[in-house]
Amino acid sequence: MKLYFAPGACSLHPHITLREAGLPFDLARVDIRAHKLHDGTDYYGINPKGYVPALELDDGEILTEGAVIDQYVADRKPESKLLPPAGTMERYRAQEWLAFIASEIHKTFGPLFGSDEAAKEGPRARLGTRFDLVAKTLASQPYLLDDTFTVADAYLYNMLRWATSPRIDRDKWPALKAFFARVDARPAVQAALAAEKR
C-alpha cells in the first residue's frame, strides 16, 4: 500500500492508523498547492479529487476519504482493535464519531486557515460548541469509545493539532488538552510525525 500525504494535513490520521495497525506501507509526499509529487508527477492523475489522503492498494486501486481509509486499514488488522467489528453497535458508534469529526469539525476549520478575519467568527464559535461536546465525553473516559484507542481518536488528534491559537485553543478544554497529550505520547503517533518531517 502507498499513502499519499502532505505534512501536517488531514492525511496524518490514516498515517497514524497504518502505523497503529503495523501494516507495511510506503509514503508518497504530495505538494497540495501544486498538486504534484516530488518528481513532478501530476497528482490529479493519481487522485482526480486532487487532495490528500489517498491510499493506493496493492492492486493499484485508489481509495480516498480519510475516514474510509481508516476503516479499510483497521479492517485489514482486526486484532489491532482500531475499530469494533462491523455490524456491532460499537462499530456504528465509531462511525458516528468519524462522520461527526469529518463533517462538523474537519471542514469547519477551513476558514480559520484563511486571511478573512470576519469569516472566522462563525466557524470558530461552531467549533467551540463541537469541542464542548467532545470534551464532555472525554472528561470521563480516555478515548472516544471509552478505554480503547480507535481510528476516531487518531482523526480527533489530527484535528486538535490544528486547534492552536489564534485559530482556536484546544487547551481551553482540560479534557481535550489531556486527550491530546495521551494520544501524542503513542509511539505510532510519534513515528508518523517523525516520518512526515523527513
Ligand X SMILES: N[C@@H](CCC(=O)N[C@@H](CS)C(=O)NCC(=O)O)C(=O)O
Judged by the rule CB under 6 A, the positions of this chain that interact with ligand X are: 9-10, 32, 50-53, 65-66, 102, 106
100 vs 175, beta carbon nearer ligand X: 100
Non-local (6+) Cβ contacts of 27 within 8 A are 2, 3, 5, 15, 195, 196
Which DSSP helix (H) or strand (E) runs through 64? strand 62-64
Instruction: Name the residue among 95, 59, 76, 79 with its Cα closest to residue 18.
Output: 76
Residue 103 in contact with residue 159, Cβ under 8 Å?
no
CA distance 170 to 1: 33
Q: How far is the CB of 139 from ligand X (least distance, A)?
A: 27
Cell of 89: 453497535
Residue placing its CB nearer to ligand X in the complex, 54 or 189: 54
> What would the grid cell of residue 82 be?
482500531
Q: Which is nearer to ligand X, 131 or 155 (CB)?
A: 155
Residue 68 C-beta: closest distance to ligand X, Å:
8
Residue with Cβ nearer ligand X (120 or 175): 120
Cell of 145: 469509545
What's the closest the beta carbon of residue 159 comes to ligand X, in angstroms?
10
Nearer to ligand X, 101 or 134 (CB): 101
What phi and psi values does residue 72 have, to the nearest 5 degrees? -60, -50
What does the radius of gyration of the chain's CA atoms come to, in whole angstroms?
Answer: 17
Which secondary structure element, helix H or strand E, spans residue 56, and what is its range?
strand 54-56
